Structure 1
Amino acid sequence: MASHWVKLELDVKNFDAARFAGYVERCRDAGIRLTTLAELGDTPRDRHALYELNKDCSADIPDRGEFYTFEEYLEHRIEVPSYDPRGVVIALDDSVWCGLAATSNHRASGFVFNEMTGVKAPYRGRGISIAMKTFGIGFAGLCGVDKIRTFHHPANTAAIEMNRRLGYVDAEQD
């Protein structure tokens, strides 16, 4: 594991949504629908599809190691107090789950946490990650907070760069 993670924070009050609205529109124009797991129904079938997508997208994370089994995934990511299906944005190409941006609720600590953003390899380079993160920023408001936090392995430069472009800045986190 990396000894120095890159810790980032976004102040939602200062987020320029208009600057990134085109990404969401381009997804729609390309037939990519953005929705949340809550809107889909958060069913056992949906949770399994989310697991498979998360597993596929996590394969490129430096030093990720072995991905959870489905049971471990449920235990560590879904069946926890911070899980909220309204914070899980899914990108759909017809019925194909092609991207996710999963954010958890830590309102007692004053923020929501972006756990994972990923897009399947054939869909990369189309702005889907930025569209999902832009679409999902409203989750912070639903939780009554104005901060979104995340962290990345220092070798995950594409994710770090994308977050910085959205307005994330370096932050010290607990």
Structure 2
Amino acid sequence: MTVPWVKLELDVAAFDAPHFETYVTRCREDGIRLTTLAELGDTPEHRRRLYALNKECSADIPGRGEFYSFDEYAERRFEAAGYDPRGIVIALDGDEWIGMAATSVREGFLFNEMTGVRAGYRGRGISIAMKTFGMAFVRESGTSTVRTFHHPANADAIAMNRRMGYVDAAAEG
């Protein structure tokens, strides 16, 4: 039986940036730095670190299954047509990579592929801060829509996106 995934989208013009900037400020006050893979350097070492972080953060996503090998991940993430290192937000605690939010360019919209925070850092608003920080890339792209989808059992991720203004995506016909 196929699970109907929850498909959400955000109208970029309706996003309440000033309200959510408070999450970015709180991260900074807590010593968490937000940056992008482009700013850190899109290097082989950083790609390996992103892979390890993505793998760890994905482990408890309902319905996720076995994670990709690094080569499969590299092909799906870094070699994909919509890949842009400016769309990969990284949260750092000192030198430790603690969270990531990956957004890619698609035809007519941006796609938030993955947002995750290491277990010990969850519940502090870091996911919302990363997604808010990533809105700079969204604005630079000139798109009006960001889309994402979740397994219906991933209630925390769905609730976070809804809090940020994501709504159910219109049915594709």
> Which of the five TM-score ranges fits, normalised by the shorter chain?
over 0.9
SS at match of 1:150: strand
Amino acid at match of 1:132: M
The Cα offsets for residues 75-119 of structure 1, whole Å up to 9 and x where unpaired, read as 11111111100000000000000000000011xx21100000000
Amino acid at match of 1:18: P
8 Å contact kept, 1:2–1:63 = no
What is the 5 A alignment of 1:1-174?
Answer: 2-106=2-106, 109-172=107-170
SS at match of 2:101: strand
Q: Residues of 2 paired with 1:2 and 1:23: CA distance?
A: 36
SS at match of 1:82: coil
Amino acid at match of 1:138: A
8 Å contact kept, 1:2–1:154 = no
Q: Residues of 2 paired with 1:149 and 1:38: CA distance?
A: 22
Shift of 1:141: 1.8
Amino acid at match of 1:56: E
Amino acid at match of 2:133: F
Q: RMSD in angstroms over aligned alpha carbons? A: 1.1
Amino acid at match of 2:131: K
SS at match of 2:61: coil
Report the TM-score when normalising by structure 2. 0.96
Shift of 1:173: 6.1
Q: Residues of 1 paired with 2:138 and 2:76: CA distance?
A: 21
The Cα offsets for residues 3-29 of structure 1, whole Å up to 9 and x where unpaired, read as 200000001111111111111001001
Amino acid at match of 2:125: G
Q: Residues of 1 paired with 2:102 and 2:5: CA distance?
A: 19
5+ residue gaps in structure 1? Answer: none
SS at match of 2:153: coil
Q: Kindly, what percent of the aligned residue pairs are identical?
A: 67
Q: Residues of 1 paired with 2:30 and 2:150: CA distance?
A: 29
Shift of 1:172: 3.1
Report the TM-score when normalising by structure 1. 0.96
Q: Residues of 1 paired with 2:84 and 2:170: CA distance?
A: 25
Paired residue total: 172
Q: Residues of 2 paired with 1:102 and 1:7: CA distance?
A: 17
5+ residue gaps in structure 2? Answer: none
Shift of 1:41: 0.7
SS at match of 1:68: coil
